[in-house]
Amino acid sequence: MTTTSSTLADATAPAPKRVHFKTWGCQMNAYDTERMAGLLRPLGYAVTEEASQADLLILNTCHIREKAAEKVYSELGRLKAQRKPGSKLAVAGCVAQAEGAEITARAPQVDLVIGPQSYHRLPELIARSAREAGEVLHTEFEAEAKFDALEGERPAPGVSAFVTVQEGCDKFCTFCVVPYTRGAEVGRATDRIVSEVRALAAQGVREVTLLGQNVNAWRGAPPAGIGGEAWGLGQLCRHLALIDGIERIRFTTSHPNDMDDALIRAFAEEPKLMPYLHLPVQSGSTKILKAMNRRHTAEDYLRLIERIRAARPDIAISGDFIVGFPGEDEAAFEETMRLTREVGYAACFSFKYSRRPGTPGATMPKQVAEDAKAERLARLQALLDQQRLDFNRAQIGRTLPVLFEAEGRHEGQLKGRSPYLQAVHADAPATLIGQIAAVEIDAAAQMSLSGRLSVVAAA
Ligand code: SAH
Ligand code: SF4
Ligand code: F3S
């Protein structure tokens, strides 16, 4: 502080600085970015959208497919010209975890490499990289410490908020880097989850989405004072539904093998648990599922979907698919098309298989040619797009409870979500933001629905 007129408080407060984030990958990364921003705020860092104005730049990266990982290096190149002299550059996220040493070799301008399990040490590592010339590498696994240390500040939430309940993965699907970048499955303590959701509700949050790489593998001790056996996600959802102000609960991403009866029952019995389930299957071929180490057959998956639909008939199912995994021939791909037709998805993500270094799939024989992958992906996506449109169109004429989240693009319009996670636009007063209102759906497109506020307000 150089100003002479500053009060004592000003003089001891850290100098104002700016941090710029660029985030790729899954919702967990988006959540982690928020948390890093919260951790840096007490050190005087305000978030800026302008990379050129930042004293600290943090790239929160994704390693899931080759394209995702390569984006980091092109961004690092771009930033060279943009960054303010003297600014610090950090690479965080899954590329940092997987390729830490390679990053500093390929991009010597990087000051700090920090893996997802070390974010709570960010302030200390930033201080260290300021003192020391040369890069600092921190990529150890300490997920439990991270959960505890990142409980601090969070930017003011909106109507809907994510809450991490579980991190890491023990499944080791043969195509996937996540077990290597995020480490073993660790569940966050029940009491901590409950107190975070309570705090969010008090700030106006009406919907929480519980996050985890394998969210339905979450297990936790019952909250203090309740006792009994360990809880699974179904019990957690029911308990969170008791919190005043929380109207909707969702969770993502689930693994088919962790869909236990208690969780399926929760869909039947807990109205606040929304009828939407992201349940990736990856392939419709049992042979390929085996090679992927998914540990279930295509039949198992279809039977599971039947049980879930028996519990909650209107449930919308979404999923992820990989086409062109090693060994996938035309017949195996046709089985994926058949399974897709049989399930009838509401929305899906689908990808060409990407060989990830260090995973078993990368060195398997019978790799599929790129043009075959592209052709299969186009066929699958055409079917999935049609299913999404059909599902959206099926809502026309129905009245859906919509949780309004924000103003829409047009004057007087709000946007919100249906129970099935569809974006819904309707003319409505801004006072309805944060509330659930009944909307008569009169139009449907690929990505959204629109309708009119119904006279009778929904619960
Ligand atoms: N934990 C979740 C999702 C993890 S990654 C699950 O088990 O389903 C999100 C999606 O990325 C995966 O479901 C998969 O469809 C896709 N994916 C992961 N690794 C991939 C790879 N090597 N190539 C192409 N897609 C991949
Ligand atoms: Fe990756 Fe499989 Fe774990 Fe999902 S379950 S994160 S796809 S290893
Ligand atoms: Fe990507 Fe890591 Fe998420 S690899 S998908 S950012 S867990």
Say whether 94 counts as a known binding-site residue: yes
Number of domains in the chain: 3
Which CATH number characterizes residue 425's domain?
A: 2.40.50
Q: Does 6 map to a domain?
A: no
Determine if ligand 2 sits within 6 Å of the CB of residue 216: no
Q: Does 458 map to a domain?
A: no
- Bridge pairing between strands 436-444 and 399-407: antiparallel
Determine if ligand 1 sits within 6 Å of the CB of residue 353: yes
64 C-alpha to ligand 1 centroid (Å): 7
Q: Does 421 map to a domain?
A: yes
Same domain, 109 and 222: no
- Edge-to-edge strands of the sheet including 160-164? 160-164, 207-211, 248-252
Q: End of a domain among 359, 376, 393?
A: 393
Say whether 26 counts as a known binding-site residue: yes
In this prediction, residue 2 carries a pLDDT of 38
Determine if ligand 2 sits within 6 Å of the CB of residue 169: yes
**Which ligand 1 atom sits nearest the alpha carbon of residue 321?**
15
**Which ligand 3 atom sits nearest the alpha carbon of residue 94?**
2
Q: End of a domain among 89, 123, 142?
A: 142
In this prediction, residue 129 carries a pLDDT of 77
Cβ contact 263:233 at 8 Å:
yes
Same domain, 276 and 153: yes
Determine if ligand 3 sits within 6 Å of the CB of residue 29: yes
Which CATH number characterizes residue 217's domain?
A: 3.80.30.20
Q: Does 262 map to a domain?
A: yes
152 C-alpha to ligand 1 centroid (Å): 30
337 C-alpha to ligand 3 centroid (Å): 26
- CA dist., res. 176 & res. 356, Å (int): 7
Same domain, 344 and 429: no
**Which ligand 1 atom sits nearest the alpha carbon of residue 356?**
22
The protein residue with its alpha carbon nearest to ligand 1, atom 24, reads: 353
Structure tokens, 157: 């939430």
**Which ligand 2 atom sits nearest the alpha carbon of residue 182?**
6
In this prediction, residue 459 carries a pLDDT of 47
In this prediction, residue 301 carries a pLDDT of 98
Determine if ligand 3 sits within 6 Å of the CB of residue 178: yes
Cβ contact 406:364 at 8 Å:
no
Pocket test for ligand 1, best of 28, 62, 176 (most atoms within 8 A of CB): 176
Q: Does 7 map to a domain?
A: no
Say whether 237 counts as a known binding-site residue: no
Same domain, 389 and 447: no
360 C-alpha to ligand 3 centroid (Å): 18
- CA dist., res. 64 & res. 173, Å (int): 12
Ligand nearest to the CA of 213: 1
In this prediction, residue 1 carries a pLDDT of 36
355 C-alpha to ligand 2 centroid (Å): 15
- Using CA atoms of 276, 278, 284, 290 in order, give the dihedral in degrees to the nearest 10: -140
Same domain, 67 and 154: no
In this prediction, residue 266 carries a pLDDT of 98
Short-list 98, 104, 134, 89, CA closest to 116: 98
Pocket test for ligand 1, best of 322, 349, 381 (most atoms within 8 A of CB): 322
- Using CA atoms of 100, 185, 237, 278 in order, give the dihedral in degrees to the nearest 10: 70
Which CATH number characterizes residue 54's domain?
A: 3.40.50.12160
Q: Does 459 map to a domain?
A: no
328 C-alpha to ligand 2 centroid (Å): 19
175 C-alpha to ligand 2 centroid (Å): 8
Same domain, 131 and 166: no
Cβ contact 347:381 at 8 Å:
no
- Give the rounded distance of the alpha carbon of 55 from its chain centre: 28
Determine if ligand 2 sits within 6 Å of the CB of residue 213: yes
Same domain, 225 and 358: yes
Q: End of a domain among 119, 142, 165?
A: 142
Same domain, 154 and 287: yes
158 C-alpha to ligand 2 centroid (Å): 29
Residues 6+ apart with CB under 8 A from 44: 13, 14, 15, 16, 17
pTM as predicted: 0.92
Determine if ligand 1 sits within 6 Å of the CB of residue 255: yes
In this prediction, residue 183 carries a pLDDT of 93
Same domain, 366 and 410: no
Determine if ligand 1 sits within 6 Å of the CB of residue 322: yes
Q: Does 21 map to a domain?
A: yes
Same domain, 156 and 266: yes
Same domain, 122 and 208: no
Say whether 62 counts as a known binding-site residue: yes
Ligand nearest to the CA of 212: 1
Same domain, 355 and 291: yes
Q: Spell out the per-residue pLDDT of the chain, length 459, in tens.
A: 333 444 444 555 666 899 999 999 999 999 999 999 999 998 899 999 999 999 999 999 999 999 998 999 999 999 988 999 999 999 999 999 999 889 989 999 999 999 998 998 888 888 887 776 556 677 776 656 666 666 656 667 899 999 999 999 999 999 999 999 999 999 999 999 999 999 999 999 999 999 999 999 999 999 988 889 999 999 999 999 999 999 999 999 999 999 999 999 999 999 999 999 999 999 999 999 999 999 999 999 999 999 999 999 999 999 999 999 999 999 999 999 999 999 999 999 999 999 999 999 999 999 999 999 999 999 999 999 999 999 999 999 999 999 999 999 999 999 999 999 999 999 999 999 999 999 999 999 999 999 999 975 444
The protein residue with its alpha carbon nearest to ligand 3, atom 1, reads: 62
Cβ contact 168:144 at 8 Å:
no
The protein residue with its alpha carbon nearest to ligand 3, atom 7, reads: 178
Q: Does 388 map to a domain?
A: yes
Residues 6+ apart with CB under 8 A from 401: 418, 419, 436, 437, 438, 439, 458, 459
Domain span holding position 449: 399-453
